[in-house]
Structure 1
Amino acid sequence: MDAGEGARAEAARRRAEKRAGRIAAGAEELEQRLIDLLRGGLAGADQAGYAPWDEMAARMVDAQAPGLAARVRELGALPGSGEDWPERLLSECALLHLLTRAYLRLDALSAPLAETVKARVGLTVETAELLADEARLIRDEWLVLAQRDTEEGRLTARRVWLHGRATGHRALLLAYGAGGRGPELTLPPGEVLDADLAYYPGAGPLRAALGEQHGAPLPGFRPPGGSVPDALRAYGQALGADPWLDGWPFVLVEVVPVPPPGVRSGAGPVQGHGHSLARGPARAGGAGWQLADAGTEFAVPVAPGTAEATLWMLLALSAEGPLTVFGEVGHRGFAPHTAWSGDRAIPL
């Protein structure tokens, strides 16, 4: 290493130390604000409006902790959002407290969990650095399971889920767009890429960076998957590695949508009832709907917020028989993203 490279490395180290110190100070401040909130009681949190949460999120941005800022903004949307909002707010405050305490005690954590905590507060490895490490690269034929856009403040976040044909690995690509423009990354569901991926470090790695693509897209295929109990076990295992997960990608096979009582299904009778999941029941958008293993007693509620059009599309597709459905299983239920008719992917 020459003198110039040494100086740049030292400057980078100092910048990293400075940012880590700012994040630690922000975490301490956030801890105190959570304590003040709980001491004052949650009952009045809906009367204060969104301004206090927005100001708190801005403080976390100033502390260079965008992950903490995003979670604070999510907290601000809970007061007054339903009859059980104090319970949900308390639960999410507890998770945020766990995250801040974990960051302040990084040295006491295992290396994979420490990487997960750093990623959750907003400290991630640069993509170029990740892809430059050839030991991290995994080449496979990656099936695009789904692509979804969400608005996060002034940014549009695009999430693309992949399944490796040979490895069986699942991966999540994340890209952002700003200024009214969508992210540049566009991968239609059902497309297959012969490409290199590199996973970001962390416990139970999922997020990855897309590297070199080898040739043109390949014909699609129907992904393998499992049952409703398999999905719940997979989510439970992932949650053990990352307590801040809202959902885990999973492909359900041989399932049928079950509408609420009073809505007739053309898919035939299904036995059984849905299992309740932790951290609150489904309410609006998908309330009462389930996805059930065909011919068994196992079912999972459809997550709230699922569009009515998605529910009826699933019901129509199931008229020809049980479905393969990809989505995210989590504490609110199962959020369906893509279904398959033969080897053809149908975005929901």
Structure 2
Amino acid sequence: MLLSNGGTAPASMDQGVARWAAEQVLSLAPDDASRKAGSKLGAAGPWSGAGCDPSGAVWGLCKGSGSKPYQTVVDTTGPAYKCSCPSRKFPCKHALGLLLLWACDEQTVAHSEVPEWADEWLSGRRNRAAAKEQPGTGSGAKSADPEAARRRAERRAERITAGATELEQRLADLLRGGLAATERSGYGLWEETAARMVDAQAPGLAARVRELGAIPGSGPGWPVRLLEECSLIHLLDSAWLGRERLPEALAATVRGRVGLPSAAEGPAVRDQWLVLAQYDSADGKLTTRRVWLHGRESERTALLLSFGAAGRPPQLALPVGLMIDAEVTPHGAGRPRAELGTQFGPPVAIDTPPPGGPCASAADAYGQALRDDPWLDSWPVTLTGVIPVPDGTGWQLVDADGGAALPVAAAALTRPGLWKLVALAGGRPVTVFGEFGHRGFMPLTAWPEDMSETVPLI
């Protein structure tokens, strides 16, 4: 339920994997710098020995600053990348450039025999994947001692309880002293409190405390916003301290919100998963990549999370606007987070976006999700038949039939994706996938009225 190749003529399936569109290639870029650098390498000039095969492999030699060209190979069924350049980014600019060349120039990247240097990596990768699917193979790491794991979990829970109790006292002191005083105390107060929550092994609480530090002095009405966020933290503290009395589903939500990891819970769902959006966020020490999927048959929306440390982007990357036949294992009923399992073929092009509805349906979906998770900032929704319209101080998405409207989130107003959406619509209705919450609607991907292309907006 996504879109086709957006204007490029795909190779027929009897010739192998369909070629992607340029936008789908660029959606894999780990950052803007890689996107720009990769675009410059998307022409035939620096490349030699380029080719592809029906299995989804693409390879080529890219001229660099040294005497030897960089050997670049991509397995589009993953996708996965290998390049002899020293870059620590995945995919690197050479892999992006090669994929752009493959997408747009069938003569330069034609079907041919895989060279030995590329086949060595491809064969090793596919053999390892096949071995993982065989029962009883692999190193088979020893099972962890369940009693030791239980004791570790109890010790961590005790630390979090101590941290939540301390945080409650600090919130009480804050309210007793008056919210106005927080503007004078500066960010150091919040950072010190967040550090205490890190020591308590409650990274979820630490993140929410850090967000408090940005509110004082942030514009008109900041005391109200600060009080609202303090109330949500108090609610989370109280829920953790009384978690034994909560229904299991809500208790699991509380554990996740304070920062305890959750495991994927079966059964796995095999479906044709539409890759709706992919974007990164960073907190200085960790880069988090979010990939949104939608199951064509199951009608489930799934969120894949991957992480990169020390300035390195996460390795998981899926091309926006394509569909993969794969298994996805959720982290629990009603929660969108899931783990990507076995893929049963390369990504393929599709010709329709996911099902959606008017603006009122987005508000309903978010409201229902809040019942299960009161700390939820946003919820994935697809809007159909909406038009971006300026409202004086910002933008709105308005139902084409004159029904309801949703404000565009303030964070989107300074990003080029908003102007891509406005240009794509041209005053006509579009379909938009994004995240809607109390801060407004964050557009992530859009389709024009004729459904001729998929346009990533972030």
Question: Match of 2:172?
Answer: 35
Residue identity matched to 2:364: R
Mapping 1:299-338, distance limit 5 Å: 299-306=405-412, 307-319=414-426, 321-338=428-445
Question: Match of 2:319?
Answer: 188
Structure 1 vs Structure 2 CA RMSD: 1.6
Question: Match of 1:174?
Answer: 305
Unaligned regions of 5+ residues in structure 2, if any? 1-141
TM-score by length of 1: 0.86
SS at match of 1:43: helix
Runs of 4+ in 1 over 3 A off after TM superposition: none
Residue deviations 1:241-269 (CA, integer Å, cap 9, x gap): 100011000000010001135xxxxxxxx
Q: Which moved more, 1:225-234 or 1:144-153?
A: 144-153
Q: 1:98 aligns with which of 230, 235, 244?
A: 235
Residue identity matched to 1:201: G
Q: Distance in 1 between matches of 2:277 and 2:325?
A: 17
Q: 1:212 aligns with which of 342, 351, 354?
A: 342
Residue deviations 1:166-215 (CA, integer Å, cap 9, x gap): 0111111111111111011111211211111111136x311111111111
TM-score by length of 2: 0.66
Q: Is 2:404 aligned against 1:298?
A: yes
Task: Provide the identity percentage.
Answer: 57
Q: Which moved more, 1:308-317 or 1:31-40?
A: 308-317
Q: Distance in 2 between matches of 1:60 and 1:292?
A: 42
Change (3 A) 1:40 1:218: same
- Structure 1 residue 147, shift from structure 2 partner: 0.8
Q: Is 2:454 aligned against 1:345?
A: yes
Residue identity matched to 1:124: P
Give the count of matched residue pairs: 312
Question: In 2, are the aligned partners of 1:222 and 1:344 still within 8 Å (CA)?
Answer: no
Larger Rg: 2
Residue deviations 1:34-84 (CA, integer Å, cap 9, x gap): 111111111011211111111111111111111111111111111111111
Change (3 A) 1:319 1:60: same
SS at match of 1:46: helix
Question: In 1, are the aligned partners of 2:387 and 2:427 still within 8 Å (CA)?
Answer: no
Mapping 1:98-117, distance limit 5 Å: 98-117=235-254
Q: Which moved more, 1:50-59 or 1:149-158?
A: 149-158
- Structure 1 residue 308, shift from structure 2 partner: 4.8
SS at match of 1:258: strand
Q: Distance in 1 between matches of 2:229 and 2:402?
A: 34
Residue identity matched to 1:222: P
- Structure 1 residue 136, shift from structure 2 partner: 2.3
Residue identity matched to 1:252: L
Q: Is 2:346 aligned against 1:240?
A: no
- Structure 1 residue 7, shift from structure 2 partner: 8.3
Q: 1:146 aligns with which of 277, 298, 304?
A: 277
Q: Distance in 2 between matches of 1:184 and 1:169?
A: 24
Q: Distance in 2 between matches of 1:24 and 1:205?
A: 24
Q: Is 2:66 aligned against 1:66?
A: no
SS at match of 1:325: strand
Question: In 1, are the aligned partners of 2:326 and 2:340 still within 8 Å (CA)?
Answer: yes
Question: In 1, are the aligned partners of 2:183 and 2:216 still within 8 Å (CA)?
Answer: yes
Question: Match of 2:59?
Answer: none
Residue identity matched to 2:253: T
- Structure 1 residue 6, shift from structure 2 partner: 9.4
Q: Distance in 2 between matches of 1:237 and 1:335?
A: 19
